[in-house]
A and B are shown apart, each in its own frame.
Chain A
């Protein structure tokens, strides 16, 4: 028996079926299955996150694998078998790892810290800066700036304060959606929908104002 375990451990690939994984990880989970899943997660995370982590990758990956493991065990019942179990588990770990990295990177910056929040004068400054920082040709730039100005007016007049705050943080300041969602105390999905509604509204307003979306895409 011991021999069999040893041999299995050396194999990087899992030979469990989806049903076996779910059965062996269901409470109380079997140590051997948990250990093997952890190895799989660590290996996948190490390879996929190495480009994002500049030091202590091993430590970071171990931590994320541990957090992801708990999450995976907690939502086993949502695995419906649309893919291999390893792919499903891996996506949870990868999202965990990248979310953690985004949060770390932006941890000291609040929405209020972002220039332009709560102060109209600042906001205008940053907008004009954004409009002129383009590397486009001078001719195009004027046109682009004009469109941009119109869109900024629409944002100002048509969107809710929450939508404005989200668009400013996401699209102008480049803050990740994961982080903005944390700050606004909503889920990432809710925030995506909030911004989607804002985009739908802006697009409608653009068309009402006689701006042809396809033409604009070609020009920009």
Chain B
């Protein structure tokens, strides 16, 4: 919890904004482009929000399956 407090920055985005970009972020990741550079606020949110991160990982797994 302390870590969560210490890592806090003023301009974090919420789960909705993260979700808005999640498909874009995932496709960049799968294409080997660096989404964390293009969408740093999304990357930051994924570090801090366990549920968005879980959804992101599940999305990656699903898209890998669809590509394969």
Contacts and interface: CB of A to CB of B under 8 A. Distances in A.
Interface residues of B, number: 34
A91 B2 contact: no
B1 to A, nearest CB: 5
A189 B16 contact: yes
**Chain B contact residues: helix, strand, loop or mixed:** helix
Chain A interface bracket (under 10, 10 to 19, 20 to 34, 35 or more): 35 or more
Interface in B1-37: 1-8, 10, 12, 14-17, 19, 21-24, 26-27
A87 B26 contact: yes
Contact of A220 (B2, B49, B58): B2
B23 A83 contact: yes
B14 A82 contact: no
A48 B52 CA distance: 14
Contact of B58 (A98, A189, A193): A98
Secondary structure at the A interface, as helix, strand, loop or mixed, is: helix
A193 B8 CA distance: 12
Contacts of A90: 23, 59, 62-63, 66
Contacts of A171: 1, 4
B15 A220 contact: no
A91 B23 contact: yes
A133 to B, nearest CB: 13
A70 interface: no
A86 interface: yes
Interface stretch (A19-27, A39-47, A116-124): A39-47
Interface string A184-199: 0001111011001001
B55 A196 contact: no
Given A90-B66, A189-B15, A196-B14, A82 B2 contact: no
B4 A88 contact: no
Contacts of B65: 43-44, 46-48
Which 7 residue pairs across A and B have the least CB separation, nearest first? A44-B62, A47-B65, A48-B61, A199-B8, A83-B23, A48-B58, A48-B62
26 contacts: A13-B66, A44-B63, A47-B64, A83-B24, A84-B23, A87-B23, A90-B66, A91-B19, A94-B58, A94-B62, A98-B51, A151-B1, A171-B4, A172-B1, A176-B51, A177-B51, A188-B51, A193-B14, A196-B8, A199-B4, A200-B10, A203-B5, A213-B5, A217-B3, A220-B2, A220-B3
